[in-house]
Structure 1
């Protein structure tokens, strides 16, 4: 969602694609790449970008966001087994985009973001069993912002970076028991609209925007040591051959998701909208290009994994907003017939 909504989360400027940036068109080598994108269940409400999404069990919850005409404070539940969306109790805060969301202990947490004029620091908790919101949580102590990232490790939630007039780099840990926040070690460089995934109880922060430039770093946060480790760069900067094709990994306002101990990076933009999809192998600290995203190019989308199946949905391209959803099978052969 660039989350300067969700997205995850977003600039409100209409972006004009520049089609000469490497990696921003469908790869001419797709026949040699692995992975297949197929059209899936459409989101059943208004097309939007920069929404929030969190998962609890085998269900996903999508809400807030922005379209060409308005911002939203709705919430929808997706049941993969049933294959449809159900409207849940409305988010009690102001309609917003570029907010954050995470889930801990069967409860979803939503906060921060922007209404297009002001940023927010308020936080809310959603109980999907009771279908109720708790509006009495303490505000996020890092201050009002948009385009932050959020993640869950164990029984804690985390909020990092974002934008409040300038890019940010602070990190905060949330403990639901006691509704308490504690500041942790900041990430090394300021950024907004970054992408994050969690593997083996560590958070991997990918790229992001620093003064409008996509950072070429991958940083890992380990809560057990409260420390950050930098992995190999996302561009071709070494004398080795592994990164010779690293021309289109760095980006912002993208999505990531994890399946079978591999992470996948898709959508987003850097100069223009990115179609290239990259798979990250934690064991080797290397990236491999996979079949390009086969929907319309977009930023500010959201992603989810349910039953070890990965999906990308919503988002925007300039003034065009989307409600469609695509599923990615990383081991299947690419098939044009199932994404129309």
Structure 2
């Protein structure tokens, strides 16, 4: 039986106006000296769920698929940046699923892989925002899997790692078709360095993709890798725990996790939620320019894993997720440079 710790990847966000100003109480006493504040945002209007996917096209964010403990979904919801509401769009034609992956290239969104409750999947679908319609593209060329990660860089999409009955570290590049009837193509690229993994976190900052942490046979991984698609090579960055004699990593604790989520704002990425030895709400900022991490105020909603996130108008949002049998539909905006509001 599949364990329902979700392992996704997503990146997205709600609108600048999608928030209302209900501050959250401090998540832990240790957060008192940290910078950053979380605010409640407009609730996701689909069914509560974890292990969904998200992507953004222009000023719109999209959330699709996901699951409760007993039900899986294939609906698609669009968040309107200007009007502050969610609209249900055309549903994914494939099987309902959780632990899939998604990314966007230009004006198209892509969703693929995952688990439908019986089988691991390798189908791959393109969403046309203008037509509000899906079309099936070339099946993912790697093995059918779930708990993979995905990202897009330079007009191409990438799916990596995951679980197909074994842990994986392979990487596959997708090139969209030149015309509507063209299914696109896949080619295998250099595998991620280090261990095989599932439920890692992937993000892109200033055109550079990264894969961070994850789970390997119950072991929490503590590495971070960047990808150069032109050179087709991965470079290991500093470990995400205190492993050197230098001082920069003295306070590194609790960065590593799986099934967390990330939001990119400006030149930084913010890693939050997920699972380490237990559910975690700690939030860390990564600065690729100097390969350093800084702890920020912890996520102030209920602890969860399998959340999705997105960024619109340089504002980062985290929503949905699962904690045991409790699935979430609420959303939070993170203000990374704001003082924390204490409502106790």
Structure 2 partner of 1:232:
238
**d(CA) in 2 for partners of 1:216 and 1:114?**
26
Alignment coverage as a number of residue pairs: 321
1:293 aligns with 2:294: no
Q: CA deviation at 1:7?
A: 3.6
Q: Superposition pairs for residues 19-30 of structure 1, below 5 Å?
A: 26-30=27-31
**d(CA) in 2 for partners of 1:118 and 1:4?**
16
Q: Superposition pairs for residues 99-248 of structure 1, below 5 Å?
A: 99-135=100-136, 137-177=137-177, 178=182, 179-188=184-193, 189-248=195-254
Q: Kindly tell me: are residues 33 and 218 of structure 1, through their superposed partners in 2, closer, same or farther at Cα, counting changes over 3 Å?
A: same
Structure 2 partner of 1:19:
none
Structure 2 partner of 1:330:
336
DSSP-derived class of the 2:32 partner = helix
Q: CA deviation at 1:320?
A: 0.3
**d(CA) in 2 for partners of 1:55 and 1:71?**
22
Confirm or deny: 8 A CA contact 1:217 1:233 kept in the other structure.
yes
1:57-86 Cα offsets, whole Å, 9 max, x none, are 010110110013310010000012111100
Structure-1-length-normalised TM-score: 0.91
Q: Kindly tell me: are residues 142 and 3 of structure 1, through their superposed partners in 2, closer, same or farther at Cα, counting changes over 3 Å?
A: farther
**d(CA) in 2 for partners of 1:324 and 1:4?**
19
Q: Kindly tell me: are residues 111 and 79 of structure 1, through their superposed partners in 2, closer, same or farther at Cα, counting changes over 3 Å?
A: same
Q: Kindly tell me: are residues 4 and 221 of structure 1, through their superposed partners in 2, closer, same or farther at Cα, counting changes over 3 Å?
A: farther
Q: CA deviation at 1:102?
A: 0.8
Q: CA deviation at 1:29?
A: 2.5
Structure 2 partner of 1:318:
324
Q: CA deviation at 1:26?
A: 4.0
**d(CA) in 2 for partners of 1:210 and 1:328?**
30
**d(CA) in 2 for partners of 1:185 and 1:68?**
35
Q: Superposition pairs for residues 91-106 of structure 1, below 5 Å?
A: 91-106=92-107
DSSP-derived class of the 1:31 partner = helix
1:305 aligns with 2:311: yes
Structure-2-length-normalised TM-score: 0.90
**d(CA) in 2 for partners of 1:153 and 1:80?**
24
Q: CA deviation at 1:244?
A: 1.0
Structure 1 partner of 2:50:
49
Structure 2 partner of 1:8:
9
Query: Is there any run of 5+ residues in structure 1 with no aligned partner, and where?
Result: 10-24
Q: CA deviation at 1:3?
A: 8.6
Q: Kindly tell me: are residues 6 and 214 of structure 1, through their superposed partners in 2, closer, same or farther at Cα, counting changes over 3 Å?
A: closer
Structure 1 partner of 2:87:
86
**d(CA) in 2 for partners of 1:132 and 1:121?**
20
Match of 1:274 among 280, 285, 290: 280
Q: CA deviation at 1:8?
A: 3.0
Confirm or deny: 8 A CA contact 1:111 1:124 kept in the other structure.
yes
Confirm or deny: 8 A CA contact 2:226 2:235 kept in the other structure.
yes
**d(CA) in 2 for partners of 1:278 and 1:243?**
13
**d(CA) in 2 for partners of 1:154 and 1:106?**
14
1:76-114 Cα offsets, whole Å, 9 max, x none, are 000121111000011100000000111112101111000
Q: Kindly tell me: are residues 247 and 5 of structure 1, through their superposed partners in 2, closer, same or farther at Cα, counting changes over 3 Å?
A: closer
